Structure 1
Amino acid sequence: MDRPYSPPGAEAAALRLALPPPPALSGLVHHFHIEYASAGRVVVPASPLAQLTFFIAGGSLLPPEQGQRRLLNQAFLCGPMARAMPAEWQPGTTFVSALIEPSRFAGLFGLPLNELLSLPVALDDAVPGLPCRELQDSLLATRSAGEWVRLMSDWLLRLAARRDDALRAAFRLPAGLLFSPAETIALQHGISVRQFERRFLAAYGQNLRETRRLARYARALALMMSCPRPLPRGQLTRIAMDAGYHDQAHMVRDFSELLGRTPGGVLAGPDAGELRLLRYDERSRPAVVQGW
């Protein structure tokens, strides 16, 4: 966790870490992701989680907009990824991300999450005036991955304290209700179905149907990541059932549309390939798969 950071130009082996949040951020941050000294083409996978990311070095070339590729190399916010997105990391790219529970995002940053669906936006543009310069300078000044997470955690805790009223008022759906009929959920909240749909869209970034779809996919990914390799015979069918799919074919269709790969293709890919953002070692994996 405290592997030293090498400045750009120095030789360094790529490293990927996932760390759980401190207890005070439980329910707000799902986990922290640290990418160290990576480069090359990568697929940013679909995900129901929002994120806050600070770059330590390098940057990411995003797909073309109006014929031109955009280099993202500053702190940014992004909503859930409704589809996988290709990117190309510059040599030595190093960053730390807080993967944020979607229902907490709007209260924390004052932005409806549907405005940032699958869209990375520079933090200064998304929330003008947010005091983050000191945090960025502190991140650049240290060489410890553990210290990066501590600095981000302290900053998020201060922000959450200032936004306490908004966080308390934010619409949050208990996990056990996600797959209930919309009418049942609305009735339990004492609001109309239309009011529920509006609140849900702003809080989760997508409508109920698409959020359920991403939740099944995330659950299936977590089960795949937790299974031994190679998978025992019939394990993919069991994963599909446990994740809430009708059958394995249903899971294959969702993975093909959301990730651009079949479940078998996800499992067979190399650890250093374009899907490396789904590859974690035994130390990091529990932080990623918990809660799904």
Structure 2
Amino acid sequence: MTNALAERTATVPTALRPWITGIESVAARDALPASFTHVPDTATKLVVRVEEGGRRDAVVVGPRTRASYYADADRRVASCVQVSLGPGTARPLLGTPAADLVGRVVPLSALPTATARQLASDIVDLETEEVIAHLAELLPGLPAPAGDRSRTRVLRAAVAALSTRSGHAPAQVQDVARELAVSERQLRNLFTEGVGLSPKHYARIDRVRHVLTQAPRGDWAELAAATGYYDQSHMTADFRTLMGVPPRSYFTGRLPSARPCQAFRQV
């Protein structure tokens, strides 16, 4: 993000944690840059957008598997609220598996569940705190995500094991499957349904996102080792694949050519 955008992260109420992993609001506070980046993301998100003219809409943004570089991106969008859904919640809440949302932006009202359509009507005119309050009233009364609590527990334990954070490199997929007493095939199926990505692809994206938050604070080789890469060249190759340029180029502003924004094109 640039300093032209003001970001604020809200605390997820305890009652919403079975459904939601994060809530943030973003608002333009200055002229937006000529171009900016949508980085890869493992989450499916509910997004309420407000355009400069006051028009509002509510969409679902699926996981992004590659970075996109846009010119004139979101110039009409003055602010938005982004609600990150937890693993295994897309189908019970939206009526579609997460895999069907990868790389897509869909109007919330177009999704098949009555809950999704009601949410589209209810939250489109709400501010961040009001969105949180409405979700806290609605979601706890719905059936537990994914219906099968044991499958949900396995999926979320696997997501935690394959996630990168300070002091924790992602585990190997085969080790996670063995620890959770499921086959690698079962684990892949759980991830495809509940996250939209394979376990390996999830871990790869999450690891690159960690590099984005940590670099260029220290030594590249040390960062690679701490993030679970074999070596610096492994990190560079993964970063280039997902971001389109190697880390040094990205952090010095040598980015791929931007193209007209289609980030919120309905597909």
Change (3 A) 1:95 1:192: same
Per-residue CA deviations over 1:19-46 (Å, capped at 9, x if unaligned) read 1323324462224131326644332111
Aligned counterparts of 1:48 and 1:180: Cα–Cα separation in 2? 17
Per-residue CA deviations over 1:80-113 (Å, capped at 9, x if unaligned) read 2111124422345322212333444444433211
Residue 123 of structure 2: which of 127, 135, 148 is its match?
135
Aligned equivalent of 1:67: none
Per-residue CA deviations over 1:42-86 (Å, capped at 9, x if unaligned) read 321111222111111159xxxxxxxxxxxx973111222111124
1:138-287 to 2 correspondences below 5 Å: 139=126, 148-166=127-145, 169=149, 171=152, 172-174=155-157, 175=159, 177-178=161-162, 179-180=170-171, 182=173, 184-186=175-177, 189=180, 191-224=182-215, 231-232=217-218, 235-269=219-253
Aligned counterparts of 1:256 and 1:73: Cα–Cα separation in 2? 36
Number of aligned residue pairs: give it.
231
Counterpart AA for 1:45: V
SS at match of 1:97: strand
Aligned counterparts of 1:120 and 1:239: Cα–Cα separation in 2? 33
Counterpart AA for 1:84: A
Aligned counterparts of 1:188 and 1:245: Cα–Cα separation in 2? 21
Aligned equivalent of 2:57: 74
Change (3 A) 1:156 1:259: farther
The structural deviation recorded for 1:152 is 1.7
Change (3 A) 1:190 1:254: closer
Aligned counterparts of 1:201 and 1:210: Cα–Cα separation in 2? 10
Counterpart AA for 1:134: D
Counterpart AA for 1:152: V
Structure 1 residue runs without a partner (length 5+): 1-12, 60-71, 140-147, 275-292
Change (3 A) 1:181 1:45: closer
The structural deviation recorded for 1:167 is 5.1
SS at match of 2:144: helix
Identity %: 20
The structural deviation recorded for 1:160 is 2.1
Aligned counterparts of 1:22 and 1:90: Cα–Cα separation in 2? 29
Change (3 A) 1:237 1:182: closer
1:29 equivalenced with 2:29 (yes/no): no
SS at match of 1:134: helix
Per-residue CA deviations over 1:157-206 (Å, capped at 9, x if unaligned) read 23421334235635323245335555554455554443332122111111
**TM-score, normalised via structure 1 length:** 0.67
Structure 2 residue runs without a partner (length 5+): 163-169, 259-267
